[in-house]
Amino acid sequence: MSEVNFNITAHDKAGRYQQFLEQVTPCIEGETYEVSLLANVSAALKEVFGFFWVGFYLVRDNQLILGPFQGSMACSVIKYGRGVCGTAWKENKTQVVPDVEQFPGHIACSSLSRSEIVVPINVNGELKGVLDIDSDELATFDETDQLYLEKLVDIIIKTLYR
C-alpha cells in the first residue's frame, strides 16, 4: 500500500465521517490479514478524528483480548459482560456512553477517558470483537458517531469475514 493522506474537508461531523468512509474503504479493500486491517483502521480513525484512544478487542478463548490500537496502554483482557466493551458484547449492541464515570462497572484503563463508544463486530451471530473509541472529553459521541462507526464496522466485516 502506498502512503495515504486523508483529505477531509467537511466541517460537519456526518460529512467528515462520509468522506472518511469514502477514503478509507479503498485503502483496506482486499486486505485479508485481520491485524493489518484493524491496525490501519485504528491509525486512520486516530489521525482523522483525533480521538484519545481507538482500538479493537478480539474474542479469543471466550474473552475480549486487546488487538490493534492507537493511544496509551490499555487493558489486555475484558470479560464477557464487564465494562462498556463486555456489555456491547453481551447485549450485541453499540454502547454510547457520555460519561464513563456514570456507567455501572466501567473499567478504567485510563483515568483520562471521559466518554466512550463501543461497536460490536458481529458476523452471522458470532461476535468477532469490538471497535472501542474513547474520548478525553465528556459527551463526545452521539447518534452520528454510532451510525457511521457501524457503517465502518460493516465495511470491515465485508472485507475480512465474508
- Please name which of 32, 29, 24 lies closest in space to residue 7, comparing C-alpha atoms: 24
pLDDT at 3: 57
Q: CA Rg, the chain, in Å?
A: 15
115-123 β-sheet, strand order: 77-78, 63-70, 53-60, 126-135, 115-123, 95-97
CA distance 142 to 129: 21
**Angstrom distance (rounded) from CA 63 to CA 82:** 10
CB 123 within 8 A of CB 156: no
Q: Cβ contacts of residue 157 below 8 Å, gap of 6+? A: 121, 122, 123, 128
Question: Helices in the chain by DSSP H: which ranges?
Answer: 13-28, 34-49, 83-91, 143-160
101-115 pLDDT tens trace: 999 888 878 888 999
What pLDDT does 110 receive? Answer: 81
Domains by residue range for the chain, with CATH: 13-160 (3.30.450.40)
Tell which residue, 141, 144, 138, 99, has the closest CA to residue 118: 141
What is the C-alpha separation between 138 and 12, in angstroms, rounded? 19
Instruction: Report residue 72 as a C-alpha cell.
Output: 496509551
Which residue ranges in the chain fall short of pLDDT 50? 1-2
pTM score, whole prediction: 0.95
| Residue 143: strand, helix, or coil | helix
| pLDDT 10s digits, 116-144 | 999 999 999 999 999 999 999 999 999 99
